[in-house]
Amino acid sequence: MGIFDKIKEKLSHEFIDIIEWLDYTDDTIAHRFERYQNEIKNGAKLIVREGQTAVFVNEGKLADVFKPGTYELTTENMPILSTIKGWKYGFNSPFKAEVYFVNTHLFTDEKWGTKNPITLSDERFGLVEIRAFGTYAFKIADAGKFIVDIVGTDNNFTNFEINEHLKSLIATRFTDTVGEANLPIELYAANTSELSDTCREVMKPEFLSVGISLEKFYIENVSMPEDLKKEIFEYSRIDKIDLDKLTKFKTAKAIEAAALNEGGTAGAGMGMGMGFVLAQQMGGMMSPQMGGQQVAPQNQAAAMPPPMPQAVQYFYAANGVQTGPVPFDQLRALFAGRTVNRDTLIWKSGMEAWKPLNEVEELKTFLGGNTPPPLP
């Protein structure tokens, strides 16, 4: 063998004749196949495994893309690169090109969350702040677009590098979606599944614009300040239970607490007084049942107060619909819960026409500026 034949053989071995990549990590999205001066031998073998896509880039421009399989690189299976190179006399010499292997499997359990609270406007509670977090899963749908638009010249691109961009995109679109949903504030935490599906559909086009497919999107929790939670819980209770029974129950609890108060003479006196009142009431209720008779003191008829006036019942307008009647205390609770406000139309027996709440004399106390007249 002559000296020139040895040199030719040596040079031929310096060119790459097998192009493949074995991924030993679980976070690499794109890896550039490294070789001497980017030179690839004519007829080299390309091995693309399942879950991979091979992308050839020539002088910064996207060339050919190969799906899983084994290929012998020729002008027939590299039509774009062959056109760029313009081989007039056949594909007979080594050529230069960058080869990127892109992982196309599913990247799961990626975390996202709102860095700052999201401010929403609620009809009953005004401006409120919520936070949210969850997980998502994605995979590369268009390897060529992803290499050109995102990876660039990075020789080893991981999901950590893309996650910061994706989490910012998710937080922005999540804020827009919940703002446009205009749901009552307590329903955001109760409808995370439906809200997750809506957000995913909104975000999919933006992910695809850089070659990424958003496969799954989950909202795990929507949180709000503790004081707002308590206010919502209290409002929901008032809205569901009988206010008359609630008032009696709270009065009984207050009497019990006063009777057990050991803070001083005043507390003890109040407890004893309340105890006597309860004893008289209990005695009055139990004596007919036990066959006993109540002995009325002398001059009882003269000492008895006149009967209490009948409670006034109010009607109010809600969303253009007449609602009621409700007693004074319940109407005050509805005002506190923002179901009615100062401009809500009110009517009671004796009024000629409906009037706003702030024009009904005894209801002005709701606004905090007046005190009610003394009881008869």
pLDDT in tens, 260-319: 765 544 444 444 444 444 445 544 544 444 444 454 445 554 567 776 667 788 999 888
Cis (ω within 30 of 0) for the bond into 325?
A: yes
List where CATH 3.30.1490 sits in the chain: 241-261+312-371
Antiparallel, parallel or unpaired: β 69-72 and 95-96? unpaired
> Residue 346: its pLDDT value, please?
92
Distance CA 221, CA 132 (A): 6
Cβ atoms of 13 and 44 closer than 8 Å: no
Residues of the chain with CATH 3.30.479.30: 107-225
Q: Please name the residue that has the structure tokens 């050109």.
A: 148
Strands 52-58 and 61-66: antiparallel
Alpha carbon distances (Å) from 132 to 30, 114, 167, 316, 337: 30, 6, 12, 37, 26
Q: What is the CATH T-level fold of the domain 107-225, as seen in this structure?
A: Tetrahydropterin Synthase; Chain A (3.30.479)
Helix (H, G, I), strand (E, B) or coil at 274: helix
The alpha helices in the chain, defined as continuous H runs, are 3-14, 79-85, 143-146, 159-181, 187-190, 192-208, 226-240, 243-259, 265-286, 300-303, 328-336
Label residue 70 left, alpha or beta by phi (over 0 means left) and psi (-120 to 50 means alpha). beta
Range 329-335, long-range pairs (CB < 8 A, 24+ positions): 329/243, 329/244, 329/247, 330/243, 330/244, 331/363, 332/366, 333/238, 333/243, 335/366
For the beta sheet containing 98-103, the strands, ordered from the edge strand earlier in sequence to the opposite edge, are 61-66, 52-58, 98-103, 28-33, 156-158
Question: Could you say which residues of the chain have pLDDT below 50?
Answer: 4, 6-13, 264-279, 282-283, 285-293, 295-297, 301
Q: 328-336 and 243-259 helices cross at what angle (nearest 10)?
A: 90
End-to-end CA distance of the chain: 128
In angstroms, the CA 321 to CA 318 distance is 5
Nearest to 80 by CA among 55, 104, 103, 100: 55
Tell me whether residue 203 is exposed, middle or buried, using C-beta atoms within 10 angstroms of its C-beta: 0 to 12, 13 to 18, 19 or more.
Answer: buried
Secondary-structure percent of the chain, ordered helix, strand, coil, rounded to 5: 40, 30, 30
Count of beta carbons in the 10 Å neighbourhood of residue 156: 13
Return the CATH number of 241-261+312-371, one of 3.30.2250, 3.30.70, 3.10.450, 3.30.1490: 3.30.1490
The answer to whether 78 and 10 have CB atoms below 8 angstroms apart is: no
pLDDT reported for residue 212:
93
**What is the model's pTM?**
0.55
